[in-house]
Amino acid sequence: MTKTSPIKVASPSRFRPVWDFPGFSGLTIGFFAFLYVPILVLVAYSFNGSKFAMVWSEFSWRWYIKLLENDDIHSAAVNSLIVAFTAAPIATIMATLAALVMVRGGEFRGRDFTAGLITLPLMVPEIVTAVATLIFFALLNINLGLINVILAHTVFCIPFAYMPIKAALEAMDPGLEVAAQDLYADYWQAFYHVTLPLLTPGIISGFMLAFVISIDDFIITLMVAGAGSTTLPVYIYSMIRTGVTPEVNAVSTLLLAVSIVLVSIYWLLSSANRKGGAMG
Amino acid sequence: MTQSAHKNATLAKLRLFGILPTWVSISLLMIGPLLIMAAVSLMEANVYGGVHPRFDVSSYAQILFDTNLFDEREFNPAYLIIIMRSFLLATAATVLALIIGFPAAYYIARQPDHRKNLLVFLITIPFWTNLLVRTFAWVIILGRGGFMDQVASFFNLLDDGGSINLMYTNTAILIGLVYSYLPLMVLPLYSSMEKMDVRLLEAGADLYANRVELVRRIILPLTMPGIIGGSILVFVPCLGAFIAPDLLGGGKKLMLGSLVQLQFATSRNWPFGAAIAMMLLAIVVIALMINARAARRHASYAQAEGGTAHD
């Protein structure tokens, strides 16, 4: 199917093309406002000098300074980083291996089953995964502190790491590997010298998405984490429950910033990939 | 052994090496726990948390019935109300997300490529940020004396000390749900609208169809897979939502997700929580089946029509 790319013609609006619906641009602006205004309000209020979370007084850094002095937030943030820096790399390695098999491994028995298995963590509602994992750890008496959290995170990070890696592999010309093998490279050499370097942006993208998903996870961690394994989102939740102070706004803004920066890097990487692919 | 047979054996080994870690970890930490949860839903509750390993279907019966003093089953609508509320709020959120998302998805799909990519990225950003934090933003907006009250009193729409105060209402939960899952509606909508051939609209207009007819007879049928896919992606997590009812409903207006959480956090009735979770899982399976059927039907339609119509 060919697509006609819509060409904007500088014409008076009475010659509006049929596919251009009046009012849709305004609705789209409203749509983006709905998505972003709450985030901007939260960020703005984190710089609010007032003692009350919701009443604006003046611009101030005081809540960020207060965050630096809060030991509980420190240890929660450290836990979050430990979990994300362990679960995301493990998930990325598994996802890379699985994507190589699924894209380059040819037809094999259990291929559809594997594809379903990888997407399973995306299908099951988070709360169901959370309580199932909780029951599993409790009944088997697996009580390893942060390791419990890491195990749970690794599983639901796999599909998020898998998607960009698989897409990058599919966009890659298999002829390059064949060419390497024609030049007497064995599987390993072809992989190490050709596939892996070309796949690196995809792998980094996968790692970053897995990292973001891990660091943002709340429900599963809330159910699985024991007393000493509080992560940042779980700590933010307890802060909200015990009474909203402006400190919550500040720590929430930091968490938002981490995700947005990482996802933006991912986007820049993948759009550079797209452009490179189009030129090559 | 011939060289190609040797090569095949190596390939099979490599395949196994590549796929085994994923198989083992997802089977062990996802399928295993789900099976154990299914078993727990059929056991007797232990009042101190955990279970007695005795077969008992009473946790499923508990969804609709209470056992009274005389050991008789009595109809108890309390959980049915929660189920109804969940379905109503999830349906309303899905419809609202569709109404809000449809024009935006259409508009973005008709933009030049570079702007399209940027706008799609802007839709995905909220999806990648922390849901708890994004929902909390609505507490600041909707709460007493919050952002909305301040805006309203700035425009003199509010008496002194008055408040619109939507917190702890179904409306607040609904806003939170739409906000949480809107990106999941727009992305599939966008991708089916992007595939749509705009020449069909021009052809329709040449045959004197007005814009309403174009939407009804061309855009809606052609983007149906996106509509169904997006609706499922919104409806399913809404049913199991925990954060929005908890923060914006104040934990008083329970939904299925919060009911499950409660059974493990405070009520300590694991089999009942597991039974509700099984119910959620069953709904997911049904939703996926509907989606697969719609996709199949659309594919065969596209094959039958598209083969001759285009290219």
Q: For the domain that residue A194 is a member of, what is the CATH number?
A: 1.10.3720.10
* Inter-chain residue contact A24 with B107, CB threshold 8 Å: yes
Residues A42 and A166 in one domain: no
Mutate to test the interface with B, among A1, A28, A35, A241 (most CBs of B within 10 A): A35
> Rounded distance, CA B253 to CA B170, Å?
7
Res A5 pLDDT > 70: no
Give the pLDDT confidence score for residue A54 in this predicted structure.
Answer: 67
Give the pLDDT confidence score for residue A15 in this predicted structure.
Answer: 67
Residues A120 and A178 in one domain: yes
Give the pLDDT confidence score for residue B309 in this predicted structure.
Answer: 41
Residues A55 and A171 in one domain: no
> Rounded distance, CA B139 to CA B76, Å?
33
Encode pLDDT of B284-301 as tens digits. 899 889 888 888 887 776
Res A277 pLDDT > 80: no
CA distance B237 to chain A (A): 6
Res B253 pLDDT > 50: yes
- Higher local confidence (pLDDT), B39 or B54: B39
Residues A114 and A187 in one domain: yes
> What is the residue range of A34's domain?
23-62
> Rounded distance, CA A18 to CA A92, Å?
46
Considering just the CA atoms, what is the radius of gyration of chain B in Å?
A: 25
From B25, B108, B201, residue closest to A28, measured CB to CB: B108
Q: What is the mean pLDDT of chain A?
A: 87
Give the pLDDT confidence score for residue A2 in this predicted structure.
Answer: 47
The domain boundary, picked from A62, A89, A112, lies at A62
Q: Of B205, B211, B218, B208, give the one whose Cα is nearest residue B305.
A: B218
Residues A116 and A248 in one domain: yes
Encode pLDDT of B266-283 as tens digits. 878 899 999 999 999 999
What is the domain count for chain A?
Answer: 2
Mean pLDDT of A260-277: 79
Encode pLDDT of B143-201 as tens digits. 887 888 888 888 888 776 677 788 899 999 999 999 999 999 999 999 999 988 888 88
* Inter-chain residue contact A259 with B129, CB threshold 8 Å: yes
Give the pLDDT confidence score for residue A8 in this predicted structure.
Answer: 54
State the burial class of residue B117 (Cβ atoms within 10 Å of its Cβ: 0-12, 13-18, 19+). middle
From A3, A135, A274, residue closest to B270, measured CB to CB: A135
Mean pLDDT of B39-66: 84
Question: Within a domain: residue A9?
Answer: no
Give the pLDDT confidence score for residue A212 in this predicted structure.
Answer: 95
Asked if B12 reaches chain A (Cβ–Cβ under 8 Å), the answer is yes
Percent of chain A with pLDDT over 70: 90
Mean pLDDT of B63-70: 79
- In whole angstroms, what separates CA A263 from the centre of its chain? 7
* Predicted complex ipTM: 0.89
- Higher local confidence (pLDDT), A186 or A158: A158
Asked if B210 reaches chain A (Cβ–Cβ under 8 Å), the answer is no
Res B307 pLDDT > 60: no
Q: Of A88, A46, A118, A117, give the one whose Cα is nearest residue A216.
A: A88
Res A1 pLDDT > 50: no
Mean pLDDT of A54-64: 82
Encode pLDDT of A132-154 as tens digits. 999 999 999 988 989 999 999 99
Q: How far is CA A245 from CA A63, A240, B72, in A?
A: 9, 8, 49
Q: What are phi and psi of B66, to 5 degrees?
A: -110, 150
Q: The tokens of B18 are what? A: 């590549």
Res A45 pLDDT > 60: yes
Question: Within a domain: residue A6?
Answer: no
> Running DSSP on this structure, what letter comes out for residue A158?
H
Number of helical H runs and strand E runs in chain A = 12, 0
Residues A44 and A167 in one domain: no
From B22, B31, B237, residue closest to A98, measured CB to CB: B22
* Inter-chain residue contact B280 with A237, CB threshold 8 Å: no
CATH number of B76-309: 1.10.3720.10
Question: Within a domain: residue A234?
Answer: yes
Contact A263, A208 (CB under 8 A): yes
Residues A51 and A188 in one domain: no
> Rounded distance, CA B43 to CA A25, Å?
56
Q: How many CB pairs under 8 A join A and B?
A: 275
Question: Within a domain: residue A77?
Answer: yes
Mean pLDDT of B47-59: 79
Mean pLDDT of A209-221: 95
From A123, A134, A267, residue closest to B264, measured CB to CB: A134
Residues A76 and A158 in one domain: yes
Contact B185, B98 (CB under 8 A): yes
Residues A39 and A78 in one domain: no
Give the pLDDT confidence score for residue B154 in this predicted structure.
Answer: 82
Mean pLDDT of A222-251: 89
Mean pLDDT of B201-206: 88
The CA-based angle A142-A146-A148, given to 5 degrees, is 35
Encode pLDDT of B10-47 as tens digits. 888 888 899 999 999 999 999 999 999 999 999 988 87
Residues A46 and A134 in one domain: no
Q: What pTM does this model have?
A: 0.89
| Coil, strand or helix at B67 | strand
Give the pLDDT confidence score for residue B311 in this predicted structure.
Answer: 38
- Search chain A and give the residue with CA nearest B264: A131
Asked if B273 reaches chain A (Cβ–Cβ under 8 Å), the answer is yes
Mutate to test the interface with A, among B3, B29, B123 (most CBs of A within 10 A): B29
- Higher local confidence (pLDDT), A265 or A177: A265
DSSP, residue by residue, A53-77: TT----B--HHHHHHHT-HHHHHHH
Encode pLDDT of B95-144 as tens digits. 999 999 999 999 999 999 989 999 999 999 999 999 999 999 999 899 88
State the burial class of residue A233 (Cβ atoms within 10 Å of its Cβ: 0-12, 13-18, 19+). buried
Question: Within a domain: residue A184?
Answer: yes
Give the pLDDT confidence score for residue A157 in this predicted structure.
Answer: 96
Give the pLDDT confidence score for residue A279 in this predicted structure.
Answer: 38
* Inter-chain residue contact A1 with B147, CB threshold 8 Å: no
- Higher local confidence (pLDDT), A245 or A233: A233
Single-letter amino acid, residue B301: Y
- Search chain A and give the residue with CA nearest B234: A125
The domain boundary, picked from A8, A39, A62, lies at A62
**Least reliable range by pLDDT among A20-34, A69-83, B37-51, B124-138:** B37-51
- Search chain A and give the residue with CA nearest B277: A128
**Least reliable range by pLDDT among A48-52, A168-172, B103-107:** A48-52
The domain boundary, picked from A38, A62, A86, lies at A62
* Inter-chain residue contact A117 with B141, CB threshold 8 Å: no
Mean pLDDT of A191-214: 92
| Annotated domain spans of chain B | 76-309
Neighbours of B12 (CB within 10 A): 13
